[in-house]
Homo-oligomer: A and B are copies of this chain.
Amino acid sequence: MTSGGDAAGMNPAIKYAATYAKKCGLSPYLVEWGLRGLIEGWVREATPDRLAGIIHRGGTVLGSSRSKRFYEYEFRKQAFENLQHHGITKLIVIGGDGSFSALNQFYADFEVPFAGIPATIDNDIPGTDYCLGVDTALNMIRQSVDSIRDTASSFSRAFVIETMGRHCGYLAITSALANGADVCLVPEVAYDLDSIAERLRMQKKQGQKYVLGIVAEGTGMGDTLTRWMGEALGMDARLTVLGHVQRGGSPTVYDRVMAHNFATAAIDGLLAGERNKVVTFKDGHIGSSSISEIAAAKHLVNPSLVKLCEELSN
């Protein structure tokens, strides 16, 4: 099952999970349209033709949804009966922490254990350094910035690019690093526009032709920074809001390999008797965290990235 916001890497995770489950002697099923599908009973066997030709496709072929009804016991009960009907005794959910909490409640009600696979381009699930979809999103952003750079350098203009990221600046900071941006604003780091302007004026004086700024959606600063740059530098300044272009695209190799590693670890964990854990990637190794650990923890961006960002926010 996929649930919550879509992310590249969900399709390979579906494929690897189903394939590995079969290797382990299990009979995998696919739940369509997330929690809503669980309630409605949109459940099918994972036959080879359902899994063919999906490894290289973005989004999720199972569909996703947000379902408020799942908060109500009555609908969870209905979901449980659907699973019983097919003889399904364990769940794998690919999604974010909202989905994991929902299934944790489901376990409290009906004792159907699940394993969570973290997938969100915001990369903000506590306990794991990596969530599926992030590498693909970063590379989609990279391609857009490379294209915008063509115009910026043709005109000696200032360009501000707004990436996704409501509470977490991971995408923005990493993109600023990878694309050589001059300015980066994210929710986690304080910024000083005057100090930025002074720095950029000096860079311009030293011969720099164009300016690139990257802003995380969550700062709400896209328009303001663009106007500010235009005025402070006396340059034509433009804002581009990348939007949903970042979410799609064929999963990169990194996302496919991580999808494989997460999917097989999720099944291994369930078979070993683990209950309600989320598979994680920490310090270069696959592991797992319990739902309570994740709920108690707070996601923090890597301090070295924060430090890099500070240089670009001042």
Contacts and interface: CB of A to CB of B under 8 A. Distances in A.
A47 to B, nearest CB: 9
A192 B83 CA distance: 42
B154 A147 contact: no
Contacts of A250: 142, 146
Contacts of A151: 6, 58-59, 244, 247-248
A58 B150 contact: yes
Interface string A54-65: 011111110111
Interface in A98-130: 129
Most chain B CB inside 10 Å of its own CB: which residue of A12, A180, A241, A282: A180
Interface centre among A48, A239, A252 (most CB of B within 10 A): A252
Q: How large is the interface on A (under 10, 10 to 19, 20 to 34, 35 or more residues)?
A: 35 or more
A174 B2 CA distance: 25
Interface string A196-228: 000000000011110000000000000000000
Given A244-B147, A244-B238, A244-B240, A253 B64 contact: no
Interface string A143-156: 11011111101111
Interface in A173-207: 174-175, 177-180, 206-207
A283 interface: yes
B177 A248 contact: no
Given A6-B155, A154-B6, A253 B49 contact: no
A254 interface: yes
A284 interface: yes
B56 A135 contact: no
A159 B55 contact: no
Contacts of A257: 174, 177-178
A67 to B, nearest CB: 12
A60 B152 CA distance: 10
A266 to B, nearest CB: 16
B63 A249 contact: no
A78 interface: no
A277 interface: no
A256 interface: yes
A85 interface: no
A156 B148 CA distance: 30
A53 interface: yes
Nearest to A146: B56
Contacts of A141: 253
Given A63-B156, A155-B63, A245 B240 contact: yes
A155 B37 CA distance: 12
Given A15-B180, A60-B154, A142-B256, 19 more contacts: A6-B151, A8-B150, A48-B208, A53-B149, A55-B180, A56-B146, A59-B153, A63-B154, A64-B154, A139-B252, A147-B249, A148-B243, A148-B244, A148-B245, A150-B247, A177-B256, A254-B254, A282-B284, A284-B285
Closest 5 CB pairs of A and B: A284-B284, A150-B248, A147-B248, A58-B150, A59-B150
